[in-house]
Structure 1
Amino acid sequence: MKTGIVIEGGGHRGIYAAGILDVFCENGIEADGVLGVSAGAVHGASYASHQIGRSVRYTMKYCGDKRYMSFRSWLRTGDLFNADFCWRELPEKLDPYDNDALESSPVEFYVTCTDIETGEPVYHRCKTLRGDEMKWLQASASMPLASNIVCADGRKMLDGGIADSIPLRAFEHLGYTRNIVILTQPEGYRKGKNPLLPALRIAMRKYPALIRAMEMRHIVYNEEVADIERRAEAGSLLLIRPKHTAGVARTEKDGTKIKALYDIGRKDALDRLDAIWNFFGKR
C-alpha cells in the first residue's frame, strides 16, 4: 500500500499547505508520493526535495516585488507572475531549488496540468526540475488570462486546476491508496461559476475543449470536495484544511498575511501529528 499527499492549489492561499508540509519534513512524515495542483505543486516540490522553509521564505520576500508579480508584467509579457523571474532566476539563483535532493528523494513528485487542446488533465512525474522539466511545474501553475500557454513535451498546457482541482482519484489510480488530502479552502466552501467565463470564452476560443472544462470546473470541484468529505468521515483518507484563510487573496502581496496563513498550516499539522503518524502507519 503506497501512501500519498494530494495538494490543492489556490495561488498564495497555498502557503497554508507549505506550513503543513514543513511540519511533515521536520517530523519525518514521508509519503511515497505527492501530487500537487498549481500552487500545491509548487509547494509539493519543496516537500519532495526536503527544503524546509523555502516556500514561505521566498513567497514572503518576493510577494510584493514587481519582478515576481505585477500588472506591468502581465501587460508586457502576458504573465502576471513573471515567468523568467519565477521559473528561472528564483529557483536557479535567488533561492535555489535542490534538484540533487529531488533526484535522490524516495518521494515521487507529480504535477497536474491541463492539456488545452483536449481539456483533459495530465499527471506528470517530475524526477527532476532541471531544464525543460521545470516547464511542467510552470504549466501546472499558469492560470488562464493571467498567463501564457506553456508547452512541455509538445503539449500546450495551463493550470491543472482547470481539469482536476483535487486529483485524489487520479492518484489512487496511480497506486497511491492511503492519502492525506490538503485543501486550501475552509469547510463549507463551494466553488461558483467563474465570473470571468465570458472573457475566457473569447480569449480561448481556439480551444473549445478547454472552454468546456472551464465551464464544468465548479461542478467537478464541488463533487470532488463532497466525495473527499464523505471519505474523510469514513476514515479512508485524512483531510486537512484551514478554519479560515487569514484574508489571504490568490495574488496576496502582504507578507504578514502570508506568514499568518503559513503558521495556521503549521499549527493544524502539529495539532494532528499523532493522527497523521497513525494514519500512515508509521507508529
Structure 2
Amino acid sequence: MNIGLVLEGGGLRGCYTAGVLTWLIDQGIEADTVVGISSGAMLGSYYMLKDKNALHEIGVTYASDPKNIGLQPLLHEGTPVGYRFLFETVLKKILHYDYRELQAVTRTFEFGVYSLKLQKTIWKNQHTMDNELKYMLAACTLPLAGRSVKIDGVKYLDGGITTMVPIGHAEELGASKFLVVVTKDPDFVRKPNGRVTQFLLDLLYFNYKKLLKDFRARTQVYYDEMNHVRDLQGKGQAILLQPTRDCGVKHFSGTREQMEIMFDLAKEDCENRKDEILAFFAK
C-alpha cells in the first residue's frame, strides 16, 4: 500500500504544515510518497530528513522575520519576499541544508516547478538537487513575489501556478491513499485574481500567454483539486488536515505570535485525530 503525503503551499501559512510534519515525525509516521508545492516543497524536504528543528525555524522563526517579507526585502533585494535571505542566509549558512542527506533518502519525494520555456509545471526530486538549491528556490518563487530562477538557460517559477493541492501527481506516482495537508481553514474562500494583480501579471509576463491563462484558472483548479480530495475522503482513501480555526495568518502577513499559535494548532489538530491517522497508516 503506497501512502502519499500531499502538501499545499500557502506562504506564511506554511507554519501549519510545519506543525503537522513535526507531529508526524514525533509519531514515527513515514509516508511512502511525498509531493509538495511551494513552501510545501521545502517543508516536505525537512520532513524527509526528520529535522523538527528546521521545520520550526523555517515555518515560524525565519518566516516571520522582517527580512523575509515586506519592506526590508523590497529595499535590499528588490522583491517583496526575501528569497536571498531565506536561501543564502537561513538555509545554507544557519541551518546548513545538505542536499546530499536528502538524496540518501530512498522514499519518493517530488516537488513542482513551472518552466517558462514549456509553460507548464514539471516535477523534480531530491536527485535533481545540488548545493545551489536552485530548483527548490524556483519551487518557492511566486511570479510577483520574486524573480524567475534561471537553471541551464531555462527560467522557472513556483509550480503552484497550475496545481495548489498536488493530489493528481501523488496519484501518478502510484499512491493509493493520501494524507493531504492544506493551510486554509474550512471557511476560506479563494477568489479570482484582483485587478491590480492581474494587471501586473499581464504587464510582466505578456510574452507567456499560457502562463497567464494558467494563472487565471487557478481558482477553479484549486476547487477541483479540493473536491477530488473530498471524494477520496468519502471513499476512505484520504484524510484531509487543515486548520480548525483562523489564526490570522495570511499568505504574506502574520506575526510571530500568530504563527506560533498556528504551528501549535497543527499539532493539536493532529493529536485530536491521532487514532484516525495512526489507523490510516497502519492499514
TM-score, reference length from structure 2: 0.91
Deviations 1:227-283 (A, max 9, x none): 21122122111111112230012123511111000001111112222212221226x
Which sits farther off after the overlay, 91-100 or 72-81?
A: 72-81
**Alignment of structure 1 residues 203-218 onto 2, 5 Å:** 203-218=204-219
How many residue pairs were aligned? 281
Q: CA RMSD in A?
A: 2.0
Distance 1:61 1:19, change over 3 A: closer
After TM superposition, the structure 1 stretch with the greater mean CA deviation from structure 2, 116-125 or 54-63, is 54-63
1:79 counterpart = 2:79: yes
1:238-257 paired onto structure 2 within 5 Å = 238-257=239-258
Q: Secondary structure at the match of 1:269?
A: helix
Correspondence for 2:45:
45
Residue matched to 1:166: 165
Q: Which residue of 2 aligns with 1:183?
A: 182
Q: What is the 5 A alignment of 1:75-154?
A: 75=75, 77-127=77-127, 129-132=129-132, 134-154=133-153
Provide structure 2 residue ranges, at least 5 long, that are not aligned to the other structure: none
Match status 1:259 vs 2:260: yes
Could you say if the C-alpha distance between residues 69 and 192 of structure 1 is closer, same or farther in structure 2, counting changes exceeding 3 Å?
closer
- Structure-2 change in CA distance of 1:25 and 1:129 (3 Å): farther
Larger displacement relative to structure 2 (258-267 or 78-87)? 78-87
Q: Which amino acid aligns with 1:267?
A: E
| Residue pair 1:180, 1:238 contacting (<8 A) in 2 also | yes
Question: Which stretch has the larger CA shift, 64-73 or 244-253?
Answer: 64-73
SS at match of 2:150: strand
The answer for unaligned runs of 5 or more in structure 1 is none
AA of the residue aligned to 1:273:
K
SS of equivalent to 1:50: coil
CA gap of 1:4–1:153, structure 2 versus 1, over 3 A, is: farther
Q: Which amino acid aligns with 2:166?
A: P
How far apart, CA to CA, are the structure 2 residues paired with 1:229 and 1:190? Answer: 16
Q: State how far apart, in whole Å, the 1-side matches of 2:209 and 2:182 are.
A: 29
Q: Deviations over 1:6-37 (max 9, x none)?
A: 10011010110110101111111001121111
User: Residue type of the partner of 2:120?
Assistant: E
CA distance in 2, matches of 1:161, 1:114: 8
Question: Does the aligned pair in 1 maintain the 2:16–2:263 contact within 8 Å?
Answer: yes
Which secondary structure state, in structure 1, belongs to the residue aligned with residue 271 of structure 2?
A: helix
Distance in 2 (alpha carbons) for counterparts of 1:131 and 1:100: 8
In 2: Cα distance, 1:62 partner to 1:160 partner: 23
TM-score by length of structure 1 reads 0.91
| Cα shift readout 1:119-153 (whole Å, capped 9, x = no counterpart) | 32111112374324x11111111111111011235
Q: In 1, are the aligned partners of 2:138 and 2:148 still within 8 Å (CA)?
A: yes
Tell me the CA shift for residue 64 of structure 1: 4.8
Q: 1:186 Cα deviation (Å)?
A: 1.6
